[in-house]
Structure 1
Amino acid sequence: MTNILELQNLSKHYHSNDHQLTVLNNISFGIEEGETCSIVGPSGSGKTTLLGLCAGLDSASTGKVWLNRMCLNDMSEDERAAVRGEHVGFIFQNFQLLPTLTALENVMVPMELRKEQNIRSRAMELLERVGLEDRFSHYPTQLSGGEQQRIALARAFSNTPRILFADEPTGNLDEATGEKVENLLFELNKEQGTTLVLVTHDLELAKKTQRIIRIKGGELVSDEKSVNVNY
């Protein structure tokens, strides 16, 4: 199998006056196409920073990142944004829906940016797939947290991403709602053959992925296959 994501000796430092804070130190791993992987670790361990570097949302201090066999280090911010628009989907803990747009319009946005055809029907299909066929015209403030995250799921898969990055996707949801969102996430991921990289503090959620990478204090401390994969 080919690695869709590869990190080589990745570090991230922040400088303040004469002090250097190391958030990530010398991280290396690869993720194969179609693999599901969790990144876990205590609060402040560098999980979200690592996810941002993997997706090209930020630049590493040292080391290299290859996404879909393209080296992000060699790209401008505009070039990295183009790669994300073409190949990457995102799901965030706080949903990040546009409040002035309806559910349908929120799902259509990535497709509009890509100048795709038949985007309205595609967006409707995705919302129906996540059980929101009666919420097309609702605005985010009119919806529950679980419904908003299901819209975010539909939006994330609207560009048929090669890789999906999810940052604590159920962190703001109650247990029952979170489980429903988890099931939809893994079902859609499997249907589309997407690679999933999931940041979570929830070990039960992490165990649903094929592989668990643990970081602590900015360093990779273990990388192992999950023994309880459900998907």
Structure 2
Amino acid sequence: MSILRVENLTKTYSSGSGPLTVLHNVSFEIQAGDTFSIVGPSGSGKTTLLGLCAGLDRATSGSVYLNGIRLDNLSEDERAAVRNQHVGFIFQNFQLLPTLTALENVMVPMELQGARNVEKTALDLLDRVGLAKRSHHYPTQLSGGEQQRVSLARAFANRPKILFADEPTGNLDTDTGDTVEALLFDLNREAGTTLVLVTHDLELAQRTGRILKMRGGAVVDQLVNERMSD
């Protein structure tokens, strides 16, 4: 079953020197449970594409279908409701709420869904990422790697059908990045979540089943990782 379908996606911004097109007729499809990476140099449109796929922004033309829901016809509030129901996020700069503890940050997506037993579930997730003893610390009291592990726990808190990760190890040193990377793939495999990863790191991309290569806002290649498909 297709979890994400992108059809002829184009994004153009207005600028002082005229219209600037950052995505050109991008199309692809991802099946439920797939792992998928989007790679390319800076300015190739990777993060813009990720934002459109997740319903954070609206394309100039083309369509995005997320879990069968067409996003381009929805209002901002409707897209936010779809994200809350179906999507998890991991960002390069963590984006934890600074006034909330690690535990409270992980609880937020579940509380927005009206879930029960949110504190126990959040503690279990923090334990899974090795931070049970840091649950009452605030983001400023945590290292970068610890903050990203909290964001990992938060991303899986609402049991998303699809997880979007934008350079999840980009702000971390190699050893810490390796730890976060291993946790990401382990949690994703256990949950059976579809993973869409934006990265500069080709070694990280090689851990996914498919790779979409971009340059200048256009798709230049789509590769199936033979090692993953065996």
TM-score by length of 2: 0.98
Is 1:46–2:61 an aligned residue pair? no
Aligned residue for 1:39, secondary structure, equals strand
1:176 paired with 2:175, answer yes
Superposed displacement of residue 230, structure 1: 10
Structure 1 runs not aligned, ≥5 long? none
Shift of 1:74: 1.5
**Partner in structure 2 of residue 185 of structure 1:** 184
Equivalent residue number for residue 119 of structure 1: 118
Deviation above 6 Å: which 4+ runs of structure 1?
Answer: none
3-state DSSP of counterpart to 2:85: helix
Deviations 1:169-199 (A, max 9, x none): 0000000000000000000000000000000
The worse-fitting range, judged by mean Cα deviation, of 219-228 and 123-132 is 219-228
| Shift in Å, 1:18 | 6.0
Within 2, Cα distance between the matches of 1:18 and 1:133?
52
Letter in 1 for 2:159: T
Q: CA shift at 1:20, angstroms?
A: 1.1
Matched, 1:153 2:152: yes
Shift in CA distance, 203/36, structure 1 to aligned 2, threshold 3 Å: same
Matched residue, 1:207: 206
What fraction of aligned residue pairs are identical, expressed as a percent? 66
Note the C-alpha offset of 1:16: 2.3
| TM-score normalised to structure 1 length | 0.97
Cα-to-partner distance string for 1:44-86 (whole Å, 9 max, x where unaligned)? 0000000000000000000000000010011111110000000
Partner of 1:224: 223
- Which residues of structure 2 form unaligned runs of 5+? none
Q: Aligned residues, how many?
A: 230
Alignment match, 2:93: 94
Deviations 1:119-162 (A, max 9, x none): 00000000000010110111111111000000000000000000
Hey, what's the Cα distance between the residues in 2 that align with 1:43 and 1:5? 24
RMSD (Å) for aligned C-alpha atoms: 1.3
